[in-house]
Amino acid sequence: MGRGYRIPVLRKRSLQTDYHGRSQAFDMMTALSCKKCGQNYSISKLFGLCRDADPASGELRFCCPICGSVCTLTVENEWIICGGLEELPDPVMVEHQRIYLPGIKVEGGSAGLTVSVSGSVHFIPYRPQRRP
């Protein structure tokens, strides 16, 4: 028999130390990180941190409890896209990270968006509209 190459197996779980020094295991296939401080959040926790949604674009905003950075989430064809505004030299939306999550569903209602993922349901209210 000939010698073959060993193909490394990608680990699905990774340990990360949170803000309080506790080690937590995150499934890297279903975790996104804050674009500013790098803190990982499970998808369920991430949608739980969403403050509001934009009714026109369907974008969700969440605020990182560690650094206070506001990130934008968009769900497109079972892809969750995390990004935010970069203001050099002009404000533009930049994608930070994306993951594929089959089975995620986003439904719009009169008061907000309902996100169903991995057996949990999250309701995110619409952002109040500013009057001119």
Q: Per residue in 51-89, pLDDT tens? A: 899 878 888 988 889 998 888 888 888 888 888 777 767
Domain range annotation of the chain: 13-125
Is there a contact between 81 and 95 (Cβ–Cβ < 8 Å)? Answer: yes
75-89 in b/e form (b: 16+ CB < 10 A) is beeeebbbbbeeeee
CA-CA distance, 120 to 116, in Å (whole number)?
6
Q: Per residue in 93-113, pLDDT tens? A: 788 888 888 888 888 888 999
- On whether the pTM is more than 0.85, the answer is no
3-state secondary structure of 38: coil
